[in-house]
Amino acid sequence: MIMDNKISLNGKIIDTPITFANEQDEIRINKKKIVLKKKIEIYKYFKPKKILCSKKKQDSRQIIYEILSSKFKNFIFAGRLDFNSEGLIILTNSSEVTRNLENPSNNFSRIYEVRVYGEFDKTSLKNKSNGSNIKGTRYKPFKFNIKSKIKKNTNLEMTLHEGKKNEIREIFKSINLQVNKLKRIQHGPFILSDMKPGEIKKATKHEIDQYENYIRNKKR
């Protein structure tokens, strides 16, 4: 094709195979631009407790990239969890995927298993679930379902659509309850299922299809 003058580099026909190009260069074959598409990869990771969701070391505490395989050193995560929380983190090589999952306007649900300690008052939490302002921060409405109650420990399932920093902990702190377990089990269509702490799995085709269909419909 080079000998037939069919390939151009940055608008100039090339006449020798000894031609260097990089990702920023424009390559055309028969005047048609070649577009290099990166294959998007999406993984589910069960972040254990006592691990930081951070790209860089902040102190002596371990970060997720210290315990992940080197394969994932250039992956980025969606859905930050605090040091004492555990559960589902999405790892991907696509910044667009992370933006879509974290953008509040896309309204992806985040589901958590939560255990709180103290004198539980359903009415107080119900009031907060309609949306609240805590220490100058506005939190959107959320849903909750009480799963069980043993003495002063109450187990709940909570569904949020925003995911602000320490949102769940701040909500319960405002009604004098202490969160002593926080585990994310779902983010959008991606489900933790029966994964174990530290385990990583490829997102299923069904989960990825659901994600892509949702984003496609949002853009219409």
Strand ranges of the sheet holding 12-13, from the earlier edge strand across to the other edge = 12-13, 7-9, 27-29, 32-33
Tally of CB atoms within 10 A around 57: 12
Distance (Å, whole) CA 186 – CA 111: 5
What is the number of alpha carbons within 13 Å of residue 114 lying toward its C-beta? 25
Residue 183 and residue 87 in contact, taking contact as beta carbons nearer than 8 Å: yes
Catalytic: 209? Answer: no
Q: Where are the beta strands (DSSP E) in 93-131?
A: 110-117
Given 82, 121, 194, 209, the catalytic residue: 82
Q: How many residues does the chain have?
A: 220
Distance (Å, whole) CA 103 – CA 41: 19
Q: Where are the beta strands (DSSP E) in the chain?
A: 7-9, 12-13, 27-29, 32-33, 42-47, 76-78, 86-92, 110-117, 132-134, 137-139, 143-150, 153-160, 178-187, 190-191, 200-202
Instruction: Enumerate the active-site residues.
Output: 82
